[in-house]
Chains A and B, each alone.
Chain A
């Protein structure tokens, strides 16, 4: 019988966007039937344009920095964009796929994306901002699949 995996993606930052897409694309390659349930900030990962998915050095003390940076400096305008640009350069240099590419690989491998209808409404997202291959549903719909999975992860 086909193995199944469900992931709940709740974060919308560049660093935390990777684990759901990496795990989902890998599991699909291994023959798993995979669904990702995007809720709260995870909904950002469904936008057609992922350029607003960023990483912040602020309140992120575990992020390795080339030079020690005091919190007062991290607060300055433009720091988030700079950190995001540096992180993207680093990912590229190490041959890590872009989020767009990983997401596309997931879709090609028939990973199913479900957007939480409640949080779509809560944050007043316009569905036209999201990619087309998204289904909308609630927790019950997710449990219909998640209840029968071999692996279920909350990211």
Chain B
């Protein structure tokens, strides 16, 4: 999937993946896509909850070799 920016949250625990995803989105334009990589399994549900509550769209959520990959489209 195409993306405009990447944020690697590998090794980070709650709440850093979410808080820093929010920070990464801050300087992006509406409609742009952020790729987030995380290793914290709690991030899977948190990322969906973040999208639901902020109006950003979680385009996909996959696991690759023990890492969780998210594509988040900015509102």
List A residues at the B interface (Cβ < 8 Å).
Answer: 22, 25-26, 28-31, 94-97, 102, 105, 108-109
Contact = CB atoms under 8 A, between A and B. Distances in A.
The 6 closest A-B pairs by CB, nearest first: A29-B22, A26-B15, A95-B13, A95-B11, A96-B13, A29-B19
20 contacts: A22-B15, A25-B15, A25-B19, A26-B14, A26-B15, A26-B18, A29-B19, A29-B23, A30-B18, A30-B22, A30-B53, A95-B11, A95-B16, A95-B39, A95-B40, A96-B13, A97-B12, A97-B16, A105-B19, A109-B19
Contacts, number: 43
Contacts of A22: 14-15
A105 B53 CA distance: 19
Nearest to A26: B15
Contacts of A25: 15, 19
